[in-house]
């Protein structure tokens, strides 16, 4: 094969899930790989040596951006178009591209399968990790027996404080309340890591987390600094790469840290780590055991008390962090 088009539009964590599949396509075929992605994630793919060209999908200004997008999409001919998103919008992009063959995931929905030439068979049993399910799609294009390969990423080195470490990042924010460990518990954890281990804490997140990050840094005290909203996405990955540890909820930064090989402790509430946990570090997930309701995969807590997160004690997470440090 000479050229392959990959379509994975979003989100931050889902784009990270696709990195092993893209690496496998490159290793097994040697083809040039182009990637259709939403504009906000395109800078991250500049650090991925397997990607020859990124094509920005105009999600926010679709009417204005459609024709420039279509010209870019149809600039090359592809031996295969690999839709790893599985939605109508991604399947339509796959159909519009000049590809000899179109494949998509087994779980594709919204009518997307009608635009594919092939899909992998659905695997019965417990839900599998998203990375493994995307590798099923790769098998249709480039069969191979190897496990998902490690992504090839080259982010620039970030400037770090001269103070002695360990240097620990906190990623306490997600888009779901049912994923977020209470901020007061993160504050207590930060104080203990700082006082007992001499850790320097960096709180990471987006611009909408700036105020909450500043408040958390204040509650932790000396040695903690809020960097929410102060880096772009490549800058965030560069910062994470220099950390000795990331303590995180189920979030985009967790998946990129895992792809970069950053040691982490991942706190899980409503979601299932077997499906969306840190793929290479599943052994370092911390979750409240003994609750029949978890994982519920819901944005709202049916019990009303968010027991899966509020009853997960600081000592458990602290001991997990010590093992990684």
- Local confidence band at 124 (pLDDT 50, 70, 90 cut-offs): confident
Residue 163 has pLDDT above 80, yes or no: no
Phi/psi at 300 (nearest 5 deg)? Answer: -125, 150
Phi-psi region of 276 (alpha: psi -120 to 50; beta: other; left: phi over 0): alpha
Output the CA angle 133-57-136, nearest 5 degrees. Answer: 10
Residue 160 has pLDDT above 70, yes or no: no
Residue 157: its H or E element: none
Task: Domain ranges for the chain, please list them.
Answer: 3-141, 167-324
What digits encode the pLDDT tens for the residues 206-248? 999 999 999 999 999 989 999 999 999 999 999 999 999 999 9
Beta strand segments in 23-147, E: 32-37, 53-56, 77-78, 80-83, 98-99, 102-103
Calculate the alpha carbon distances from 220 to 181, 201, 253, 268, 272 in Å.
Answer: 15, 9, 21, 22, 29
- Local confidence band at 14 (pLDDT 50, 70, 90 cut-offs): very high
Residue 162 has pLDDT above 70, yes or no: no
Architecture of domain 3-141 in CATH?
3-Layer(aba) Sandwich (3.40)
Q: How much of the chain exceeds pLDDT 90, in percent? A: 90
Residue 161 has pLDDT above 70, yes or no: no
The predicted model gives 184-205 an average pLDDT of: 97
Q: How much of the chain exceeds pLDDT 70, in percent? A: 99
Place of tokens 């819901």: 298
Query: Which pLDDT does position 172 carry in this prediction?
Result: 98
Same fold, 3-141 and 167-324: yes
The predicted model gives 12-22 an average pLDDT of: 97
Question: Chain-wide mean pLDDT for the chain?
Answer: 95
Q: Which residues, other chains included, contact 294 with Cβ-Cβ below 8 Å and sequence gap of 6+?
A: 269, 270, 287, 288, 308
The predicted model gives 270-274 an average pLDDT of: 96
Residue 136 has pLDDT above 80, yes or no: yes
Token pair, residue 289, equals 């055991």
What digits encode the pLDDT tens for the residues 45-66? 999 999 999 999 998 888 888 9
Homologous superfamily of the 167-324 domain (CATH)? Glycogen Phosphorylase B; (3.40.50.2000)
């Amino acid at each position: 094969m000479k050229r392959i088009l990959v379509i994975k539009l979003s989100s931050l964590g889902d784009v990270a899930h696709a990195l092993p599949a893209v690496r496998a396509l490159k290793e097994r075929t040697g083809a040039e790989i182009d990637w259709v992605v939403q504009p906000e994630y395109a800078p991250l793919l500049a650090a991925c040596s397997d990607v020859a060209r990124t094509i920005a999908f105009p999600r926010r200004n679709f009417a204005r951006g459609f024709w420039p997008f279509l010209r870019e999409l149809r600039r090359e001919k592809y031996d295969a178009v690999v839709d790893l998103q599985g939605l109508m919008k991604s399947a339509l992009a796959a159909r519009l591209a000049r590809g000899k063959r179109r494949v998509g995931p087994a779980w594709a929905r919204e009518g997307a399968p009608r635009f594919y030439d092939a899909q992998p068979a659905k695997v019965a049993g417990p839900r599998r990790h998203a990375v493994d399910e995307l590798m099923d799609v790769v098998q249709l294009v480039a069969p191979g027996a190897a496990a998902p390969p490690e992504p090839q990423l080259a982010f620039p080195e970030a400037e770090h404080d001269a103070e002695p470490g360990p240097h620990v990042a906190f990623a306490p924010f997600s888009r779901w309340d049912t994923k977020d460990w209470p901020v007061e518990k993160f504050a207590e954890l930060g104080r203990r890591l700082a006082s007992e281990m001499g850790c320097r804490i960096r709180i990471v997140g987006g611009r909408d987390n700036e105020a909450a990050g500043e408040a958390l840094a204040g509650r932790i005290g000396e040695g903690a600094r809020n960097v929410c909203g102060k880096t772009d996405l490549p800058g965030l990955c560069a910062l994470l790469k220099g950390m000795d540890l990331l303590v995180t909820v189920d979030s985009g930064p967790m998946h990129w840290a895992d792809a970069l090989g950053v040691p982490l402790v991942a706190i899980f509430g409503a979601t299932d780590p077997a499906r969306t946990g840190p793929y290479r570090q599943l052994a370092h997930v911390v979750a409240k055991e003994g609750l029949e309701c978890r994982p519920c995969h819901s944005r709202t807590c049916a019990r009303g008390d968010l027991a899966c997160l509020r009853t997960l004690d600081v000592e458990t997470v602290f001991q997990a962090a010590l093992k990684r440090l």
